[in-house]
Each structure stands twice: as C-alpha cells, then as structure tokens.
Amino acid sequence: MKLEVLYEDNHLIAVNKPAGLVVQENEHGMDSLEVLVKDYIKVKYDKPGAVFLGCIHRLDTAVTGVVLFARTSKALVRMNQQFKDRAVKKTYAALVRKKPNPMAGTLVHYLKKDTKENKTKLYNEEREGSKRAELSYQYISTANHCFLLKVMPVTGRPHQIRVQLARTITGIVGDVKYGQTKPTSDKSIYLHALGLSFIHPVTKEKINLHAPLPNFGNWKFFKDIEKNLLKE
C-alpha cells in the first residue's frame, strides 16, 4: 500500500490514512498504518535495526484522514502534552443523511466505552465511568442526498463524533454501528480527519496539516468546496 505523506521532518511524520486500516500494531498481527510508516522510514533513510515511531493519536479503522506520528521520543512526549492540554485543533468532515437543525451548534454529552461490544454509550448527564465529550459542528453544503458537516471536536473520546452526531442529528453515512442501515461497499464510513493544527514540538512554529477528501463515492461531490471546511 502506497503511503500518502502529508508532512515529514526529523521529528514528525503525518500521513493520510485510508479506510479499513488500523492505526497501531496489535496482538492480532493485522496490517497497520504504524507498520507501513515504519517500513517507509526504514527504506527511505536506509535505517538499520528497529525504527522508532510514536503513536500520538488514533482514528477508527473505518475513518480516513490525518494521522500524526512522532519520530523521536522528545517529540512524542511534547505532542502528547499538547493533545492532553487540548492545544491541538482538529477539523473533520462528515456526511450525514439529514440536514441539522440548528445548522450549527455545540454538543456536550457524557460517553462510556463498552469494550466488549466495541461501542460507545452516550448519556446526557454524567454517569459512573463516563467522560465529558464536547464538539461543535457547522452545516456546509448538500449534494446527492448527503449533507456535509464541518466537525470540530474539543475532546477526543472513542467514537465521539460518530455517537454524538447519531444521537442529535443522524448517523454518519455508512456507519451501521451507530444507526445507519446500509454499509458502504468498502466498509468505510463518511468521516474524514481533514485538518490538524498545532505548534511544532521542537521548532515552535505553527503547523497546519490538511488531508484532502477521499476521491471516491459521495466525497467527490464536495471536492470543489473542500477549502471552505478549513476556513476559520
């Protein structure tokens, strides 16, 4: 699988994750984005022995878009702190089947991960073991019976965008885990990590990463307005 590298220096590497690929190596021996990036670094820089690569954050297997890795332990520690401090700005694109009302807003819920079912439960009030989840959304456009939303999560809970949109607006197209009846042909869902903005952990410069929308299915109807999603 050919990697689409979005950003690369001595400290960080960012790639555009395809659907159907887990981010991090696991005990099941599945192909992972982490292994692909390690192989890419090993070959490109002719590195002997093991390649260091720190997993800073993750995307669900069915989700596409920006994934950032650390190439040094210093960068990993500093980027983990930025995510913990919520200093990283995340922008997602989501396609749903219903126009939101209101067309922009903020959602706050409490989420609890059910590890047995690999599913997140949502509550309107805090429950034992739950964690606060917050995001804002904005309606952008309509095409081919799909409604494009810009989603900006404040927190980073498992399945957060998927379950919060499903409960308040409607499920993301193709997301049968959270209410949609029809899966996509490639088992992906129409949720894409479009942008990631942060301060470089070493140079201290502002970094703005952008992963282009996928070029398949209903995404193609929104390619010409993609830049609107990245506007402040």
Which residues are the active-site residues?
60
Q: How many CA atoms lie within 13 A of 193 on its CB side?
A: 29
How far is residue 93's CA from residue 144's CA, in Å, rounded to a whole number?
A: 16
For residues 16 and 67, give the distance between their C-alpha atoms in angstroms, rounded to a whole number: 6
End-to-end Cα, the chain, rounded Å: 34
Q: Greatest CA separation found in the chain?
A: 56
3-state SS string over 38-89? HHHHHHHCCCCCCCCCEECCCCCCCCEEEEEEECCHHHHHHHHHHHHCCCCE
| Closest by Cα among 198, 213, 86 to 148 | 213
Joined together, the tokens standing for residue 135 give: 């995001």
**How many CA atoms lie within 13 Å of 150's alpha carbon, on the beta-carbon side?**
18
